A = this chain, B = another copy of it.
């Protein structure tokens, strides 16, 4: 029954345009306007004064969020030694001491596992995986996370998997103070046969002040744009395209020849070549794709990077899922409708 107060919440703004002209809302709007317009002039005047004060609040709020961003920069520095250690353990560059590995493992879980193993005769499989003696670090750490998190798994294709086995770390960098607010996701790869980049980057640009045309909708910084990077694929290794063969008939001679052509192909690595926002904001499919991309960027920053091991073990997934269940239940109860908008 506890209420979480500081939970950073991603508000997807994608694809809600058609709803804004829905009848119930339109009706509400008319009601609201009427109620306000029917106020005596002398009171309306005072309410305008209150709205001007509200504008001042919105500008102070923007400064607050800038300071929160600064705090996040500061704490990124404090987390860094922990993340560095994680990277080294995952890559096998460092073997943790016995003390560093002490963990009160769950007796119940171990018994459950033993029990299930007996029943399902899974010893063989275990022997097999144990047979790969002297594995380095935690093999396929990041790939396992990609496979376990629905949002990432949806982007993942079979041809991406051998490449992601070379992913060694994901980090986030925040923009410098006085610079336009942004954050950069960095995907660090060990040398591999697919591309020559050691780091692939994705920058998310944010708008951190109230919009002049709609200042009251300001609720803190929003992702408004993103930028990928060029991947220097080894010849024939680019998984974001596939080669299709086409037969062409020569008009004059009637001879047939086969030509090859590159066409786009689904791949996680398209994440580094995002679509551009439609300038008029009218392309809903495009905007929806972009909104999903922003959600994924935010999810890497807020969830995957800070608590990767919990996605590897699956513990974070259970938390996320029980949140979802709650959400569903709350809506059934009908009393918690407003929680989603706080």
Q: Which residues of A contact B (CB under 8 A)?
A: 1-16, 19-20, 22, 25, 28-43, 45-54, 56-57, 60-61, 63-65, 67-68, 71-72, 75, 78-79, 82, 85-86, 89-90, 95-96, 100-103, 105, 109-110, 112-113, 116-117, 122, 125-126, 129-130, 132, 134-135, 137-139, 149-151, 154, 206-207, 216-217, 219-224, 277, 281, 287-288, 290-292, 294-295, 297-299, 302-303, 306-310, 312-327, 329-330, 333, 335-342
Contacts and interface: CB of A to CB of B under 8 A. Distances in A.
Contact of A342 (B8, B56, B64): B8
Nearest to A104: B48
Contacts of A100: 49, 52
A79 B60 contact: yes
Contacts of A71: 64, 67-68, 71
Contacts of A54: 307, 309-310
B220 A4 contact: yes
User: Chain A binding site: helix, strand, loop or mixed by DSSP?
Assistant: helix
A217 B4 CA distance: 11
Contacts of A86: 50, 53
B2 A224 contact: yes
A1 to B, nearest CB: 4
A89 B46 contact: yes
B222 A113 contact: no
A335 B6 contact: no
Given A4-B220, A324-B340, 9 more contacts: A25-B321, A32-B315, A33-B109, A34-B122, A38-B125, A43-B139, A64-B75, A299-B338, A319-B341
